[in-house]
Amino acid sequence: MDAIMIEKAANAIADKHRLSILLAASRQSAIQCCEITELTGLSQPTVSHHIKILVDSGVLIYDKTGRTVQLTINKEMMKYLSSFFDKLS
């Protein structure tokens, strides 16, 4: 397992706002940035910052179509993390 990937993903979800974004995305097939702003109460620039961290870590997938941005959970990364944590137990 790539320790750097695990570290980046774990760091990304360690923040309470990013964790709430991840949990919201898990309840839907995709989530839009404007929904995240409403969910967290954070400003749009702050939401963009958190989204960048989640996408750069591989936890979320960013898909832009026209002016609409959809975020989905990277299921492969979640399987990778799950496998890592299974090996610890």
| CATH value at residue 36 | 1.10.10.10
Q: What pLDDT score was predicted for residue 34?
A: 86
Of 28, 56, 29, 25, the C-alpha closest to 48 is 56
Our measurement of the distance from residue 14's CA atom to the centroid of its chain's CA atoms, rounded to an integer in Å, reads 11
Provide the number of structural domains found in the chain.
Answer: 1
Structural domain of residue 19, as residue ranges?
3-88
**Which residues in the chain come in under a pLDDT of 50?**
none
The predicted pLDDT at position 39 comes to 87
Would you state the pLDDT for residue 68? 87
Q: Tell me if 22 sits within 8 A of 59, measured CB to CB.
A: yes
* 54 DSSP assignment: H
pTM of the model: 0.90
pLDDT of residue 74: 96
Give the tokens for residue 2.
Answer: 């790539």
